[in-house]
């Protein structure tokens, strides 16, 4: 007789999609959780020896790893719907940057809490963030129970959080010390773009990232206009400019990477650079289409991100998966490009790699207990021919029944467990008023 094995929680469901190296699908599934990690997973029969302190039988549900939003500005929920149907530079320079100069920590934290609530509700369990007054973002993340790699945006001009770029980097060091050792929150060095920084600032960011052992995350090659600006200012295209500054390597994550050549893709792949694709934001701003199929063909596995709610306008990774798959098929005029399994990999394993947190994005014994459960009785899941297809092409994210991070339940059958959503909903009126009060 096998000895009884205690665990904190045993979760059971009809089926589990592990996203492990073999992409196993397990019927009549069970996951045992202890101290925030997966003690074991498999069929219920295989886990019959566990004696849980708590059991959660979900029945007709799908267990899967949490989705990873690998590039966002989570607090920008307060700009949702403010300045739609505009090109990137006009949107940024005329509507976003002028208001951001007046941001306060309270507004950023409230916007971030709303963004966290949206991501919890739609299946994101971890995200890579870049914004202003990022300490307020990480406070919201801490309260919400999500995972985050957070970076203070570094600019060549003053921000609401600091006066100079040097002060900004000192702030990043302080933020890193504040969250050091936290199990769910990490920091990154996040210069904004090549056109809002200088060579010296980018070199300082690079050096600090290496000193602290942190990843570096930056928008890059988002539009042809950015390329033209970089050529006019520095005499080089954005990727060549970054290579000259020694900003090309496996600890670097570039968001967007739309306006690139075949030779530049070869360079990215050869140097292990991480890329995050933001299809809905790029479509909405008409920035172009990132050559993701070419990246995958070169052995890269990009992450998938929503960007901010101001340019998407949601933080829903299920919507992002569908947009990604469909965009590349019509763009290439090839329905076999980026099949559903590849897109699901982008939203899980690719996002984990892009965050520099590779143990995320999969359910494996010993790994973090970050998982979702979706309702398989939803009409849009009928009949259930192919789980992966349904997740990418049919799911909305609102089939979610359960969201868990580090073994802690964040959402269950209509209730946010870590956030007072009715109170948050009433508080978000302040966001609209702040935007109106700061009209140009």
Residues 6+ apart with CB under 8 A from 111: 74, 75, 76, 77, 78, 431
How far apart, in whole angstroms, are the C-alpha atoms of residue 206 and residue 150? 16
- Give residue 52's pLDDT band: very low, low, confident or very high (50, 70, 90): very high
pLDDT at 1: 45
pLDDT per residue over 145-178, tens digit each?
999 999 999 999 999 999 999 999 999 999 999 9
pLDDT at 353: 98
Q: Taking 70 as the threshold, does the pLDDT of residue 334 lie above it?
A: yes
What three-state secondary structure class fits 276?
Answer: strand
pLDDT at 328: 98
pLDDT at 435: 82
Residues 6+ apart with CB under 8 A from 305: 69, 70, 71, 72, 127, 128, 255, 276, 277, 278, 320, 351, 354
pLDDT at 431: 85
pLDDT (average), residues 206-227 = 97
Reference 166, options 177, 178, 154, 175; nearest CA is 154
pLDDT at 215: 98
pLDDT (average), residues 277-282 = 97
pLDDT per residue over 68-125, tens digit each?
999 999 999 988 988 888 887 888 888 888 888 899 999 999 999 999 999 999 999 9
Q: Across the chain, what does the average pLDDT equal? A: 96
Q: Taking 80 as the threshold, does the pLDDT of residue 365 lie above it?
A: yes
pLDDT (average), residues 17-29 = 98
- The gap between the terminal CA atoms of the chain, to the nearest Å, is 73
pTM of the model: 0.96
pLDDT per residue over 180-200, tens digit each?
999 999 999 999 999 999 999
Residue percentage of the chain with pLDDT more than 90:
90
Query: What is the set of domains in the chain, with CATH numbers?
Result: 5-65+365-413 (2.30.40.10), 67-355 (3.20.20.140)
Q: Taking 80 as the threshold, does the pLDDT of residue 4 lie above it?
A: no
Q: Taking 90 as the threshold, does the pLDDT of residue 207 lie above it?
A: yes
pLDDT per residue over 389-438, tens digit each?
999 999 999 999 999 999 999 999 999 999 999 999 999 888 888 888 87
């Amino acid at each position: 007789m096998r000895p009884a094995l205690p665990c904190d929680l045993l979760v059971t469901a009809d089926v589990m999609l592990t996203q492990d190296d073999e992409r196993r699908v397990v019927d009549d599934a069970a996951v045992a959780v202890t101290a925030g990690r997966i003690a074991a997973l498999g069929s219920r029969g295989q886990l019959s020896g566990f004696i849980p302190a708590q059991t959660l039988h979900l029945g007709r549900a799908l267990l899967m790893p949490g989705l990873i939003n690998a590039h966002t500005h989570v607090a920008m929920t307060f700009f949702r719907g403010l300045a739609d149907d505009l090109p990137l530079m006009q949107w940024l320079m005329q509507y976003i940057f002028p208001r951001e100069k007046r941001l306060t920590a309270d507004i950023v934290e409230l916007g971030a809490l709303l963004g966290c609530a949206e991501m919890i509700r739609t299946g994101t369990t971890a995200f890579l963030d870049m914004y202003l007054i990022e300490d307020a973002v990480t406070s919201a993340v801490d309260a919400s129970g999500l995972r985050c790699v957070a970076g203070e945006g570094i600019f060549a001009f003053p921000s609401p959080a600091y006066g100079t770029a040097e002060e900004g980097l000192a702030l990043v060091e302080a933020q890193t010390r504040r969250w050091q050792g936290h199990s769910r929150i990490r920091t990154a060095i996040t210069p904004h773009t090549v056109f809002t920084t200088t060579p010296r600032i980018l070199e300082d960011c690079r050096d600090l990232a290496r000193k602290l052992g942190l990843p570096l995350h930056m928008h890059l090659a988002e539009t042809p206009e950015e390329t033209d600006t970089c050529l006019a200012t520095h005499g080089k295209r954005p990727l060549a400019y970054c290579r000259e500054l020694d900003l090309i390597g496996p600890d670097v994550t570039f968001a967007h990477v739309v306006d690139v050549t075949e030779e530049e893709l070869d360079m990215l792949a050869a140097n292990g650079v991480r890329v995050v694709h933001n299809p809905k934001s790029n479509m909405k701003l008409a920035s172009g289409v990132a050559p993701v199929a070419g990246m995958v063909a070169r052995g890269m596995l990009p992450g998938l991100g929503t960007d901010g709610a101001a340019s998407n306008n949601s933080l829903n990774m299920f919507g992002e998966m569908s947009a990604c798959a469909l965009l590349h098929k019509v763009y290439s005029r090839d329905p076999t490009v980026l099949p559903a399994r590849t897109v699901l990999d982008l939203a899980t394993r690719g996002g984990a790699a892009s965050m520099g947190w590779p143990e995320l994005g999969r359910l494996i014994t010993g790994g973090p207990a970050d998982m979702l459960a979706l309702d398989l009785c939803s009409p849009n899941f009928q009949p259930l021919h192919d789980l992966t297809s349904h997740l990418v092409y049919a799911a909305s994210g609102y089939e979610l029944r359960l969201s868990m991070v580090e073994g802690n339940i964040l959402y269950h059958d209509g209730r946010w467990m870590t956030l007072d959503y009715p109170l948050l909903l009433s508080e978000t009126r302040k966001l609209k008023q702040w935007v109106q009060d700061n009209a140009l």
